Amino acid sequence: MMAKRTILSALAATIAIGVATVPAATANQNAPATRCPEHLLLAIPGTTETSEGADPSEPHGILSNVTNPLIDQYPSTVLQTFYVPYMSVIVDDKAQTYGTSKEQAIRNASQEINDRAAECPHTKFGLTGFSQGADAAGDLASEIGNGHGPIDRDRMFAVGLMADPGTQKGAGKALGAPTTGVGFAGARPEGFGALNDIAVNVCAEEDLYCNTPEQSIATQFMGTLGSRIDAQDPVKSVAAIITTLLGLDGVPITSTLDALNQSVVSGNFLTVPRLAMELSGHVSKLTNEVASKAVPGSDVEAIAASTTRLTDAASRGDILAVTQLVGELTPQLITFASQFAKTFGDLIARLPINEYVAIGATVTRISANAAIQNYGAIPLDLGKLVGQLNNAVRKTLRALPLDQFPMLNKMADELTPGRVLDEVLNYATFLAVDSHNSYASTPINASGRTGAEELVNYFRTQIDNGGQGIAA
């Protein structure tokens, strides 16, 4: 108990003392001479750092420490920046949430890239973002890297994220401090795809928003609920959250199968081998996840067998067999989806949705107050959060017996009341220390460079080397 009192005392002391604010951004002094530079870097600021009506030509927030040195170094024919305007809220009085705010950032950035790419066929694009902005920039980079975005991968020269809540192992390269955790908001199911070799992130070791320990199940749970829960449609959002947490996202499979169907119908057989290999990889991943989680009523063995035959036929150039197997796979996937949807629907119907919504609302308030440094309002919600988490865990385990849903064994073993309390106290300490806002002022590794300086060096390298992949 002494350690916990010490942490809470430190939190109270920090609240009383206050924290330093990020220096105001300086204006871009290089007026663009052209609408079509060689490189356009889109920057998406973090929570409360911008607004829907903000001037895209003016740097905002902590990312100004990344873009200003670059703008000072390169002429506007080589590099320009575009600060993406969006609401940048966690929650507001208009019922906007982190999720709707982030989606607006993605839409606005995607639209600017789409418009500028059409206008400027030789311009290459980069993405950077901080915190919520990094979450949005990372999601857009994932869309582009996996073939769902506004431009092809070869139009991108860099992706550099700061304190990304979507951080995951194997996705991009970490600059600066070595981290071993995962993002607070949960992983991106498809990673960065073809952009993985030019994607980097900087994350302070103490920053839970981008480095939540893998064993901190309660922290991951409340982070995912806080960033993804939608009080307007809680059942749908909880279903999406559980799907992601279980690693059972079927979107890559269906989108790849659609692309494969289109290639066969249109006669574009050159793309068939690649798409067949992609489909095989997605099915293999889903098969492994289903087996390891022992999800009731889900069988992907038939799909896996058909996919193996499809890959073999594609490698042999047997287009007739490929066409037949694509036709065979489609109803198999529909049947699987129907069976899985029923099983999954039964699972979701048992869950304590209201308790999840309450946790999401509390985490949202805590994060919103931390973002505006209203630390005095946080302790009460932290105490409430402990009770809500324990209540949700108890009701979840009561609703889903472990003999029917063995994937919950880890949750049952690790989310004890004492463990929940320890993780919430650790979250409180993280908020008090405010390491999340120190990327322009505190060295991130032994080199003495800050996270902002690491990204400046990275973008310089990518601009100078033509956007080639970075060394592993």
DSSP string of 316-337, one letter each residue: HT-HHHHHHHHHHHHHHHHHHH
pLDDT at 363: 82
pLDDT attached to residue 8: 37
pLDDT of residue 226: 66
Give the pLDDT score at 322.
75
pLDDT given at position 112: 96
Q: What confidence score (pLDDT) does residue 160 get? A: 96
Looking at residue 78, what is its pLDDT? 95
pTM beyond 0.85: no
Q: Is the backbone of residue 302 left (phi > 0), alpha (psi -120 to 50) or beta?
A: alpha
Contact indicator for 162, 128 with CB cutoff of 8 Å:
yes
CA-nearest of 170, 171, 186, 179 to 202 is 179
Closest to 159 (Cα-Cα) out of 98, 121, 113: 113
Q: What is the pLDDT of residue 39?
A: 96
- Low-confidence residues of the chain, pLDDT below 70? 1-33, 91-96, 225-255, 257, 264, 267, 269, 281-301, 333-348, 350, 400-415, 467, 469-472
pLDDT the model gives residue 188: 84
Alpha carbons 389 and 61: distance in angstroms, whole number: 33
- pLDDT mean across residues, the chain: 77
pLDDT of the residue at 431:
78
pLDDT at position 2 is 37
pLDDT value for 323: 76
Of the candidates 3, 57, 11, which has an alpha carbon nearest to the alpha carbon of residue 377? 11
297 Ramachandran zone, left/alpha/beta (phi>0; psi -120 to 50): left
- The pLDDT, as a whole number, for residue 460 is 95
